[in-house]
Amino acid sequence: ELQDPTPIGQGRMTHRVIGVGDRGTRNWGLIGIGRLADRPEDDVQLVFDPEDLYIRGIYRRFDNTLYHYAGADIPDALFPPPTAERPVPVRRQLPFPVNYRDLPNITVDQGTLTGAVETLRTSNDTRERGALRNAIELMAVTFAETARNRLIQNEVFTALRGGGTWRVGGHDTVMNNWNRMGATIRTAEATNAWETTTDQFQLDGVEHGGQQQTYSALFLLGVVYMVKRR
């Protein structure tokens, strides 16, 4: 049973941060997701950049392989010192881009999550429309988007807790505008103009009556969990 509505919370990322990454200010986070398929938690790990919560790669234990996006620069220091039984992970670059391919149609439920973990654990299907890409995108919605946005988190958590299904649908707009909302908040922080309303956002899917409205940075601060620093 789900107890924590925030998938990235209660130390679930921080206790896996091994050390400072390759760029001075960056700590990388590993999140074990094996438990979603009733397997050991760290059989499959998502590799996150905590500065923006982008998934930069996946690590799987059974073949000691790190699949990563181009330019991720994930340091070896993130992993434990190599041993004869477990050498430095084999690195394989994913041939597809980090952006979503079909965001509105991504569906989150226990069945899709279990299937995605099994795919990430064993599949070598790196085609443009292959199984690995589908699984990574599902995990990005389930973990990254819910950690960025309170409204998304509440809906996904409620659906999963009740054994239901949640589909991105019209919520793709607010997901795609997360960084723009962060920019509004950063500007307000720099100018102390929290009540100024300068930009429009659609915070809920059209199927729920959502529409473009102007929001203050102060209001957005209650919607967005984290803001990209740059």
92: domain CATH number? Answer: 3.40.420.10
> In whole numbers, what is the pLDDT of the chain averaged over residues?
82
Greater confidence, 220 or 29? 220
Answer yes or no: is 45 within a domain.
yes
Answer yes or no: is 227 within a domain.
no
Give yes or no: residues 86 and 189 share one domain. no
Whether the per-residue pLDDT at 4 is higher than 50: the answer is no
Read off the pLDDT of each residue in 93-116 and give the average, rounded to a whole number. Answer: 95
Answer yes or no: is 8 within a domain.
no
Residue ranges of alpha helices (H) inside the chain are: 110-122, 131-139, 146-148, 150-161, 172-176, 178-191, 217-221
Task: Please give the pLDDT value at position 26.
Answer: 55
Answer yes or no: is 155 within a domain.
no
Instruction: State pTM to two decimals.
Output: 0.83
pLDDT cut 70: percent of the chain above it = 85
pLDDT cut 90: percent of the chain above it = 38
Whether the per-residue pLDDT at 126 is higher than 80: the answer is yes
Answer with the one of 133, 148, 163 that is the final residue of a domain: 148
Who's near 229: CB < 8 A, 6+ residues apart? Answer: 51, 186
**Do 204 and 149 meet the contact criterion of CB atoms below 8 Å apart?**
no
Task: Please give the pLDDT value at position 19.
Answer: 33
Whether the per-residue pLDDT at 56 is higher than 90: the answer is yes
Residue type, 165: T
pLDDT band at 25 (very low <50, low <70, confident <90, very high): very low
**3-class SS string, 33-97:** CHHHHCCCHHHEEEEEECCCCEEEEEEECCCCEEEECCCCCCCHHHCCCCCCCCCCCEEEECCCC
Give yes or no: residues 99 and 210 share one domain. no
pLDDT 10s digits, 132-183:
999 999 999 999 999 888 888 988 999 998 899 999 988 888 898 888 888 8
pLDDT band at 205 (very low <50, low <70, confident <90, very high): low
Range of the domain at 109: 14-148
Answer with the one of 100, 128, 148 that is the final residue of a domain: 148
Lowest mean pLDDT segment, chosen from 6-20, 55-69, 102-116: 6-20
Give yes or no: residues 87 and 186 share one domain. no
Who's near 183: CB < 8 A, 6+ residues apart? Answer: none
Per-residue tokens: 138 = 């599902």
pLDDT band at 96 (very low <50, low <70, confident <90, very high): very high
Read off the pLDDT of each residue in 122-126 and give the average, rounded to a whole number. Answer: 94
Answer with the one of 148, 165, 194 that is the final residue of a domain: 148
Give yes or no: residues 94 and 190 share one domain. no
Count of structural domains, the chain: 2
pLDDT 10s digits, 172-189:
888 988 888 888 888 888
Task: Please give the pLDDT value at position 211.
Answer: 78
Could you identify the residue written with the tokens 């307000």?
188
